[in-house]
């Protein structure tokens, strides 16, 4: 069967309210659609975080609330490392609505030690020690959605301080039980509280599109949910995931480095989804520069689920330094063509989705995906990993039912992968036991799984406390931060520094997300000068 474009797509009833909201917001206030405007207001300008979409894992899709414990999260962390997901860039991980804290009589949050015996700080240290980043969850209202945990209402500053003490790197903030609260004021206050707590965090707003966060949340946080939940815990819902992709793609003008539309965690690898459907979901999410937060049980993955989630050529589209969100160019109900995603090396991504049952042979013309009609171009198939071409005018692709052809198209035969960073640890712990001055060192090694050698990472020495110095050794793909502590004159006590490092992606010249790690120093007795 051969298909070509006909009518624009129809939108499901479930999203009428959301889409009405989008239409309204675009009509009433077109200003935020201007990328320059958004650029000025991006919160990430100061913390340098999430300049490409955050990648990680969250428990809700697979588990819901009750099964979450420290043991489960640690098993998932280990599976994330062993399965190769860590090497593909997945980093943010932690309990979400996992009954992990409560509020004490003094108003302070305390870890639920029955479920998390190491406490939330101990769990954070475990995650950082594995070279991963710590994600936690709360709510902007009086209680979280399940009502099992307290929300931040009235305790914004105290709670963000507690999250900083637990060393969270990412905080998802839900919008349940928030009746009567002004959404912009509430999330702004939480952003202020995070800054006051002094630990930069990826701020993930979760109002499911309520309040049109794409219009304002880039000034407060780094990503915002655009729709309802992608599934109920335990079971993927293919039709709902597709509807969510088609609602989220309409918000493409609002996304860019440091500010992302979030269509929710992925359902790839969950029960209820075929392999082709998993491939399509992953292609949609990468094409939309969505946060790639896996939601399946990582302890129990088929080879094909691992291959989908760790397909670096697809991840490269998501993690492209230009940060453009692709969108639907045309849609005839059964077939849609997605483009509008220029990439850092001058190539472009295209996605052809076939919603029908059998196979379809389809044509992608170069002038539909951002090139000149007469161009002769190379095509990289991101699922079969084959390069063909040069093709004049366009290319024919064969797509199976519920499947997606995901392509990268270029004037040259090279298809470089942007930086995908992997750390051996994000925590350096040192102990000075004697009273004589000594020098102690601990290292953090960062490897780039992408194509380019990176310039040396830069650490501003003025940002470090007087007892710590950092030198970067090695070069290109693997660089090591050598942290040297000079203990002379230090008093007995615990010392802490959060080190920030910056870099630039060499092909595009774009700044890369800032990299942060913790240095702990325990001084057992007063040290002489």
Residue number with CB closer to ligand GLA (136 or 360): 136
Sign of CA dihedral 60, 63, 64, 66: negative
What lies within 8 Å, CB to CB, of 216 at 6+ separation is 32, 184
3-state secondary structure string across 393-431: CEEEEEECCCEEEEEEEECCCCCCCCCCEEECCCEEEEE
For 222, counting Cβ atoms within 10 Å of its Cβ (0-12 exposed, 13-18 middle, 19+ buried), the class is: buried
Residues that bind ligand GLA (CB under 6 A): 60, 96-97, 144-146, 174, 206, 208, 229
- Angle CA(260)–CA(266)–CA(270) in degrees, nearest 5? 175
Where would I find the beta strands (DSSP E) of 36-131?
Answer: 55-57, 92-93, 101-103, 109-111
Tokens 């951002």 correspond to what residue? 370
Least distance to ligand GLA, CB of residue 222, Å: 16
Q: Which residues of 139-170 are buried (b: 16+ CB within 10 A; e: fewer)?
A: bbbbbbbbeebbbbbebbbbbbbbbbebbbbb
Q: Is cis: bond before 175, omega within 30 of 0?
A: no
3-state secondary structure string across 301-322: CCHHHHHHHCCHHHHHHHCCCC
Strands 133-139 and 92-93: parallel
- Reference 112, options 90, 140, 142, 144; nearest CA is 144
- Reference 85, options 244, 268, 258, 289; nearest CA is 268
Which residues are known to be catalytic?
A: 174, 229
SS3 155: coil
Structure tokens at 527: 């040290």
Residue number with CB closer to ligand GLA (175 or 495): 175
SS3 437: coil
User: Rounded to an integer, what distance in angstroms lies between the CA atom of residue 498 and that of residue 15?
Assistant: 43
Q: Which residues pair with residue 364 across a beta bridge?
A: 395
H helices, E strands: number in the chain:
12, 26
Structure tokens at 116: 């998390």
């Amino acid at each position: 069967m051969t298909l070509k474009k006909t009518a624009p797509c129809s939108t499901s009833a479930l999203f009428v309210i959301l889409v009405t909201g989008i239409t309204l917001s675009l009509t009433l206030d077109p200003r935020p659609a201007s990328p320059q405007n958004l650029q000025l207001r991006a919160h990430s300008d100061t913390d340098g975080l999430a300049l490409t979409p955050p990648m990680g894992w969250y428990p809700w899709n697979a588990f819901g609330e009750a099964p979450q414990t420290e043991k489960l999260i640690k098993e998932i962390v280990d599976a994330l490392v062993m399965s190769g997901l860590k090497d593909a860039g997945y980093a943010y991980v932690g309990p979400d609505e996992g009954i992990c804290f409560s509020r004490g009589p003094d108003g302070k949050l305390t870890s639920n030690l029955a479920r998390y015996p190491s406490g939330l700080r101990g769990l954070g240290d475990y995650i950082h020690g594995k070279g991963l980043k710590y994600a936690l969850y709360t709510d902007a209202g009086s209680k979280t959605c399940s009502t099992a945990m307290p929300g931040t209402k009235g305790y914004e500053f105290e709670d963000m301080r507690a999250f900083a003490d637990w060393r969270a790197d990412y905080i998802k903030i839900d919008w349940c039980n928030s009746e009567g609260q002004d959404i912009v004021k509430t999330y702004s206050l939480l952003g202020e509280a995070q800054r006051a707590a002094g630990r930069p965090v990826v701020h993930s707003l979760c109002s499911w599109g309520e309040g049109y966060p794409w219009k304002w949340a880039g000034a407060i946080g780094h990503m915002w949910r655009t729709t309802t939940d992608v599934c109920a815990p335990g079971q993927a819902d293919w039709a709902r995931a597709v509807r969510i992709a088609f609602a989220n793609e309409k918000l493409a003008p609002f996304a860019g480095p440091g500010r992302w539309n979030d269509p929710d965690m992925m359902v790839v690898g969950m029960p209820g989804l075929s392999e082709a459907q998993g491939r399509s979901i992953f292609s949609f999410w990468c094409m939309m520069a969505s946060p790639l937060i896996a939601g399946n049980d990582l302890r129990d993955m088929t080879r094909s689920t691992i291959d989908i989630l760790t397909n670096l050529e697809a991840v490269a589209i998501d993690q492209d330094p230009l940060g453009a969100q692709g969108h639907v160019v045309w849609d005839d109900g059964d077939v849609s063509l997605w483009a509008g995603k220029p990439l850092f090396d001058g190539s472009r991504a295209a996605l052809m989705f076939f919603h029908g049952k059998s196979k379809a042979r389809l044509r992608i013309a170069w002038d539909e995906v951002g090139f000149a009609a007469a161009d002769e171009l190379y095509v990289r198939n991101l699922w079969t990993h084959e390069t063909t071409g040069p093709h004049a005018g366009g290319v024919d692709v064969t797509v199976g039912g519920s499947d997606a052809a995901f392509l990268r198209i270029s004037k040259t035969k090279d298809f470089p992968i942007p930086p995908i960073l992997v750390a051996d640890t994000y925590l350096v712990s040192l102990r000075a036991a004697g009273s004589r001055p000594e020098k102690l060192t601990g290292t953090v090694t960062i490897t780039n799984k992408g194509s380019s050698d990176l310039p040396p990472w830069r650490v501003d020495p003025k940002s470090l406390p007087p007892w710590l110095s950092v030198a970067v050794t090695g070069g290109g793909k693997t660089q090591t931060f050598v942290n040297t502590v000079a203990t002379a004159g230090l008093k007995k006590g615990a010392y802490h520094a959060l080190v920030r490092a910056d870099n630039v992606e060499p092909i595009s010249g774009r700044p890369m997300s800032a990299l942060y790690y913790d240095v702990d120093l325990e001084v057992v007795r007063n040290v002489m000068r």
